[in-house]
Amino acid sequence: MKALVYGGPGQKSWTDVPDPHIVNPTDAVVRIDTTTICGTDLHILKGDVPAVQEGRVLGHEGVGTVTEVGSSVTGLRTGDRVLISCIKSCGHCGNCKKGLYSHCSGEEGQAGTGWIFGHLIDGTQAEYVRVPYADNSLYKLPHGVTDDQAVMLSDILPTAFEIGVQAGCIKPGDVVAVVGAGPIGLAAIATSGLHGAATIIAIDPDEGRLLRAREFGATGVVNPSGPAWISDVMSFTDGAGVDVAIEAVGIPDTFDMALRLVRPGGNVANIGVHGKSVELRLQDLWIRNINISMGLVNTNTTPMLLRLVAQHKIPAEKFATHHFTLAQIIDAYDTFSRAAETHALKVILSRESHH
């Protein structure tokens, strides 16, 4: 089969690799019908994720059709249309029993992490993928949910909801600031309403993304390029600061922005994947009674989010801005990596027959 293979920092190629096959009785093989590219894939290509070895097939998001199941898979059969979660879950280790799938210690790949696709085992930017613990790591798709909608449930929607909205403890009536209006920030904006946020302020230097933020539910937008950006945000809060500040970029400056915006007793939820150290000024922060959270998604909210997408309560399809075939994946990476110019949110890659 063809797959997108990592060749070391800055190197990738769409090339022939062996077809995946059942290794363990809990595995399934899935034909990829639709996949997409994540900001994390760009981090890997920069060399920010040293665990990813040369020769690894990238990608951790996808929708597909089951082509083969292992002997102990009970809930799936050949021909089922499924969502591939970015996190695998064995379902029986101590962490999985707590719902902490992100730290599943099942034997597959490296013990102690649920994120294995395109990281520790071959991923979804390929024609086929082997899925460990298929009964727990795949979700059957209901009729009426499109591939474009479903692929947003592999990663960005559960990540933004769990690590931004839930971990940020958003409550009804809260004022929320989302720093960064890329796909993850927009997903946080789109799901903040599920917890009743009254005011949602999007902060991004790209005016195009601020326009998008309003489409996804932002009630206010602030461009931080101006000198008065902090007072612009504070004007939404009677000067008190926001109840919850969500960091959705992953650089020191944006994390610092979130800390400056939050009110005493508020929450800072870091979703961004950071590639370098951030200064934490505890000598100034301790007196403000703020909570800071961070994490890797568990995807234990995926079934609930899938029901909401199926009922059109979350506009998942709006993330899909560009469409390519799988064979055009190098062009798709180029488009996605130049999002400021191309206005890409999520680029969708499909098997030829889909379009």
Residue-level pLDDT at 355:
44
Q: 111 or 244: whose pLDDT is higher?
A: 244
Please give the tally of structural domains in the chain: 2
Q: Which domain holds residue 207?
A: 157-294
φ, ψ at 229 (rounded to 5°): -60, -35
Same domain, residue pair 263 and 324: no
User: Which pLDDT score, from 0 to 100, does residue 48 have?
Assistant: 84
Least confident of 105-119, 278-292, 318-332: 105-119
| pLDDT-wise least confident of 54-58, 73-77, 156-160, 274-278 | 274-278
Same domain, 117 and 230: no
Q: Are residues 64 and 17 in the same domain?
A: yes
For 309-328, the pLDDT digits (tens) are 999 999 999 999 999 999 99
Using the predicted structure, report yes or no on whether residue 226 has a pLDDT greater than 90: no
Mean pLDDT of 16-36: 98
Average pLDDT, the chain: 95
Q: Considering 279, 294, 309, which residue would you say is the last residue of a domain? A: 294
Supply the CATH number for residue 321's domain: 3.90.180.10
Domain limit, last residue, from 277, 294, 311: 294
pLDDT at position 112: 74
Do 30 and 46 fall within a single domain? yes
pLDDT at res. 342: 96
pLDDT band at residue 354 using 50, 70 and 90 as cut-offs: very low
- Please indicate, yes or no, whether residues 15 and 150 belong to a single structural domain of this protein: yes
Over residues 111-151, the pLDDT tens digits come to 679 999 999 999 999 999 999 999 999 999 999 999 999 99
Is residue 353 scored above 90 in pLDDT? no
Q: Is the pLDDT of residue 82 over 50?
A: yes
Please identify, among 250, 266, 294, the residue that sits at the C-terminal boundary of a domain.
294
Looking at the fold, whether 279 and 168 belong to one and the same domain comes out as: yes
- The CATH number that applies at residue 171 is 3.40.50.720
Q: Select from 319, 355, 351 the least CA-distant residue to 155.
A: 319
Is 252 in the same domain as 339? Answer: no
Q: Specify whether 7 is located in the same domain as 128.
A: yes
pLDDT band at 352 (very low <50, low <70, confident <90, very high): confident
- Residue 81 — pLDDT band, cuts 50, 70, 90? very high
pLDDT at 14 over 80: yes
Alpha carbon distance 297, 317 (integer Å): 21
Same domain, 183 and 272: yes
